Structure 1
């Protein structure tokens, strides 16, 4: 079995498509200080750190807000009678394309021998491509062009975002890893809130709704890209092809059952999270009678209180699970709590109920994200010396459900006759399956097998 290059896939950090997914990603940062291998080199200056933070901040404004707000508004402006069917396509198709782009761009950047460096050309290229896609969304009145525009934008954003993470793996020294990655985790939460406020203020202008966040992302990425410490590499690049890259994502679940169960649990959780926001704008508008600006204000408020709840859940659970030397109870309870939060949200009849649902869901996501990442590190088969590959495989457990989730949600909505509650109920059921998938994992205080998750097969 061929393994993919570790310094690209080992640092893979898929962009979250929704605020809830961003919160889970932040909880992972809190829980582990980020699992990417740190480089041995000089500390990054405060100016250089600022440019990284700026690029990440602007990028997350442009990426996360459309999944939670802007795309739903734009779809309703273009095709109000078919919005429920079109929105899943507008979110899901670009998401599927980004799954392909992330690993390939990482590998291709490893092999780039440009005089401008390995990472810089791809990051700047992603920034320029993304602004083209966002401009298409704002200027078109065609559903097809809207989907194409967001697909182009997501390809650019995914490439640029992945290159930031890979670059940090190239140069970030271990003594700065906790601080830098922790700050990026906070940015992952703050940026979408700022973005939703901006989007709510310009919701009546389709061009501004997408071009302003897109322009901010492009400027932030260019400011960082033009100042990257990315020297030219002259050594001969590896010659393995795409087939070898893709084959690295395969593993034998019988040989590594703990890895398989962690993957399954993550997949069900992120499937539920994709359900939690895909129709959020339409749910709030129909149940509470709010206009787009009012919806944006409520989503921003919910995001603020949810961030506090999520961070509290992540910090508290990470410390407590380490002290008790057990992970599984935290994961099982948090998965079920996410389901409770989804049901509260899906049955929303008032603003306070919606906020309560958001708080419960986010608190549980914080617990799950922090402890799940710790468990993922526990079950890595370290004797294989391929941690990067296995972490990349686990990353697919977050990115694939985020991409296919909106498409599945569209089918669920049809099956429930257009009742948004059905999507939330199925999402809650997925969290139950996620909790069940935790039970067979054999690590923790009562484990009798090695935490390397390796079982011999005759």
Structure 2
């Protein structure tokens, strides 16, 4: 559980007890929908196509590795930025609150990056603009996750976390359809995602009641200096073992998912050789989306009712491992469809329940933003480095079976690690 704060009933640091209402949850889901579209659709479709157009070599592995490098550079900045942004939001004093300015700033920055990304014709410009997008995503998502710890009572977090997960799946589908069927050029696709991110964030920025930080509360926080910035990316695992085990589990399960899913377009194109790889990606995404939405909302709520988190996270990582191993052992279109179902079950359950669990092992109420930022590294970091590691696995193991085998092992290890958490059932 979150450690006791010396401020006790302080407005900004008090543990929330009043349930949030349906309208708040809907607006919260909306801003996440826009962010997931902005972050995941380029990774799934636009970036691979854009980078392939920038590398005309007959060897498709060249563009695959270039794609991985672009993602890895952005990921390096994300790893650094997440806890720093969280720490800054903890210290932000404005009449609009601590978190709202960072949500707004992050959405705007990501949207600008997307709009400019669409006109890049060289790898260097693509790296710079995608890094801009990811830093914006980092700013907004770190603040939003801290909002949940600030505002949503522990007994409702499984349900609310489900409405982070459901937009994840829906955002991939809507975004892919948007950029492949409606806005079919690369610049138009990126611009459409940018506009969606801003429009979908607006309602939440209006309804959010973000308690401003008082001077007395701010005085309790250590000043942000180069030393505290460096220390902000570290939480002592000996003092907070459950936090450390949760981070480790998140890294492994998210990495298992990322190194497989970010390579799917390449897998469908060069391994399965389906007639319409993009169309088949949309088809499997529809299946994945439907299962994920149902699983995230239903299982997130169920975890609230039964008062358990760990067993759900264990099951989610195991389901992802089975999906990956199925593609490693028997790669086919039918296996891809079955894998989409299993992956949807696993991801839906994982995103909903693990997010709720993560907010219950934060070391301190005063540093929620910073600590949530570290947690979010375990979400966005694997997503960013996944393409490079996935490309490396394909090259190292001579094909896609090794890639999916590595994905399955990572998911299974993540399931085992989460059972080491003791303070949350």
What TM-score do you get using the length of structure 2 for normalisation?
Answer: 0.77
The residue number in structure 2 matching 1:276 is 260
In the alignment, structure 1 residue 364 sits paired with structure 2 residue 364: no
The residue number in structure 2 matching 1:410 is 391
1-side partners of 2:112 and 2:309: how far apart?
Answer: 48
Deviation, structure 1 residue 390: 6.3
- Structure 1 residue aligned with 2:31, among 46, 50, 55? 55
The residue number in structure 2 matching 1:23 is none
**Comparing 156-165 and 116-125, the one that deviates more:** 116-125
> Cα 1:260–1:181, aligned 2, differ >3 Å: closer, same or farther?
closer
2-side partners of 1:452 and 1:173: how far apart?
Answer: 15
The residue number in structure 2 matching 1:352 is 334
- Structure 2 residue aligned with 1:307, among 292, 300, 304? 292
Deviation, structure 1 residue 241: 1.6
- Structure 2 residue aligned with 1:265, among 234, 249, 265? 249
How many residue pairs get matched? 407
Deviation, structure 1 residue 256: 5.1
> Cα 1:144–1:296, aligned 2, differ >3 Å: closer, same or farther?
same
1-side partners of 2:240 and 2:147: how far apart?
Answer: 30
In the alignment, structure 1 residue 423 sits paired with structure 2 residue 408: no
Report the 3-state secondary structure (helix = DSSP H, G, I; strand = E; otherwise coil) of the residue aligned with 1:288.
Answer: coil
- Structure 1 residue aligned with 2:73, among 93, 103, 125? 93
The residue number in structure 2 matching 1:22 is none
Check conservation: 1:310, 1:367, Cα contact below 8 A: yes
- Structure 2 residue aligned with 1:79, among 20, 43, 55? 55
Structure 1 unmatched runs, 5+: 8-35, 444-450, 454-458
Structure 2 unmatched runs, 5+: 8-12
In the alignment, structure 1 residue 147 sits paired with structure 2 residue 132: no
2-side partners of 1:393 and 1:313: how far apart?
Answer: 27
The residue number in structure 1 matching 2:10 is none
What TM-score do you get using the length of structure 1 for normalisation?
Answer: 0.72
Deviation, structure 1 residue 151: 0.8
The residue number in structure 1 matching 2:283 is 298
2-side partners of 1:434 and 1:252: how far apart?
Answer: 20
**1:9-408 paired onto structure 2 within 5 Å:** 39=16, 46=23, 51-81=27-57, 82-114=62-94, 117-170=97-150, 180-202=160-182, 204-222=184-202, 224-225=204-205, 229=209, 235=215, 237-238=218-219, 240-242=223-225, 243-254=227-238, 257=241, 259-286=243-270, 287-291=272-276, 293-307=278-292, 310-311=295-296, 314=299, 318=303, 322=306, 327=310, 334-346=316-328, 349-366=331-348, 380=361, 388=368, 393-408=374-389
RMSD: 4.2
Deviation, structure 1 residue 365: 3.9
